Structure 1
């Protein structure tokens, strides 16, 4: 029987625990899997929204585990003595070969344990500068959704709970089990298992956290009609100040960045799906196929059909 432990802390995001719990519970219905929700004291924890989450047992009483998921780290200093014991426990589990994963702010807790020293981990774009200052011996690389380094798995981004949970399932069982679970829960595996827009990393190499937040929102909503005034108001800025600040941070105007997001997604779909150009045009947010083709050729320097053929040829060459 496989044993996965979910470490829950006070004042954490409720969804950071509930999402993995839902996914792993689904797997436990058909696989030999034991789930344990552990807290530092063994008592319930309260999420930042006020949701009380019950624990199965205190961390000190948890036996051997095959995998551990640290689901958050917003209130890790509430009990320094228990925190120290938890970090020691984490180090010992990893020494014994347990796969240790952390999502979102849980990466901070993993870093506090010292396990990430001289290793690489991912992080959220908005917090990576602070993490680099706090943990200079860790190589934080926010360009990737998930990074595994020596049995330590870090996962960041809006779908971190889904991504890390399915990764754990794949490691504990196999990819078929993970894909079956994703299908049963209607999760978008293409979205979860790809670094969606690797061609746009250069536009993330700045330190304006508010603009990173805007970009993270656009990464999910680029196919919708974007209203600059509403977007600026949503982020407590005037439209003029928002556009200026976005351009200074990214070197690109907001709508230009949206176009690049759409084209990058179109490239991904041309590479990885059999969707028609018309269907891809609609999926990425363009009203007319002619406009999409015009923009695609401007950014990619070739037509969608030629791009698909070129990528298909490279894939066949790689397999051969």
Structure 2
């Protein structure tokens, strides 16, 4: 198949490339373990070429190849937000930034989920070809320039992939009662633990402190209300468990990257069609 533009594409085996300027590892679908096992030679090749001077980029789940190649320890990285728990479990020395669309450190690039890969391609066009070409590509392909956050896409799944039954019970209690004036002391007491021990075990199991977890549960409830109905911001704030509008807005924006009003305009069906 020939390209429709005047560029020529030369196909060859990866092993035939002596020193590529840039290696892009695409996303893949399927069982992670079997894919990584199947492509050990490719992973070793990526590692070798990086240390010989090539730069390496991953699109979405392609990050697993970079991690297996040993290119991520001590570096910040991103991928689809739903991969966070698995990546942190497999590679605990990796600084995973689930809210970022793109990371760029020492010739290693990673990108967020699905279409965020296009943002990385646009970023590299901007970086290697100049701002003028980057802006042209942004307009030509209708892509947002300089988009850095994917946090408003994330769905909080509760981080329940652990074996601490007491913490699981505490999580359930928080999720069912987030609208009440809960305190960490009360939750720790219900779990029959000292506050200090409860915080330690909770963070070890979920990667969040109990306070952070409570805030994320509240904000997830508020997000769902903003997506579905026309309830006022003040009312849905109370239903989520907040009683101060300033605090609610600050926490909401910190977690999602958007104000409550902007989130509603972006994801509420009635708002989308009315505007």
TM range (shorter): 0.5 to 0.7
Unaligned runs of 5+ in 2: 162-174, 180-213, 228-232, 234-251
CA shift for structure 1 position 147: 1.0
CA shift for structure 1 position 120: 1.7
Question: Partners of 2:22 and 2:90 in 1: how far apart?
Answer: 26
Cα gap change, 1:262/1:168 in structure 2, threshold over 3 Å: closer, same or farther? closer
Which residue pairs with 2:259 in the alignment? 264
Q: What TM-score, normalized to structure 1?
A: 0.48
Which residue pairs with 1:184 in the alignment? 140
Which residue pairs with 1:195 in the alignment? 149
Out of 67, 72, 86, the position equivalent to 2:22 is 67
Question: Partners of 1:116 and 1:138 in 2: how far apart?
Answer: 6
Say what the alpha-carbon RMSD is for the aligned residues. 4.1
The answer on 1:167 being equivalent to 2:140 is: no
Question: Partners of 2:16 and 2:56 in 1: how far apart?
Answer: 18
Which residue pairs with 2:48 in the alignment? 92
* Mapping for residues 125-144 of structure 1, pairs under 5 Å: 125-144=81-100
The answer on 1:251 being equivalent to 2:203 is: no
Which residue pairs with 1:115 in the alignment? 71
On the 8 A contact 1:99/1:152 being kept in 2, the answer is: yes
Cα gap change, 1:265/1:129 in structure 2, threshold over 3 Å: closer, same or farther? same
Q: What TM-score, normalized to structure 2?
A: 0.55
CA shift for structure 1 position 83: 2.4
Which residue pairs with 2:248 in the alignment? none
Runs of 4 or more off by more than 3 Å in structure 1? 33-36, 73-80, 203-206, 243-249, 254-263, 265-268, 281-288
CA shift for structure 1 position 86: 1.5
Question: Partners of 1:207 and 1:165 in 2: how far apart?
Answer: 31
On the 8 A contact 2:149/2:257 being kept in 1, the answer is: no
CA shift for structure 1 position 68: 1.4
Question: Partners of 1:157 and 1:79 in 2: how far apart?
Answer: 19
As a proportion of its length, which structure holds more strand? 1
CA shift for structure 1 position 115: 0.9
Question: Partners of 1:205 and 1:79 in 2: how far apart?
Answer: 25
CA shift for structure 1 position 160: 2.0
Unaligned runs of 5+ in 1: 1-24, 37-55, 210-242, 269-280, 289-320
On the 8 A contact 2:151/2:257 being kept in 1, the answer is: no
2:79 alignment partner, SS class: coil
CA shift for structure 1 position 182: 2.1
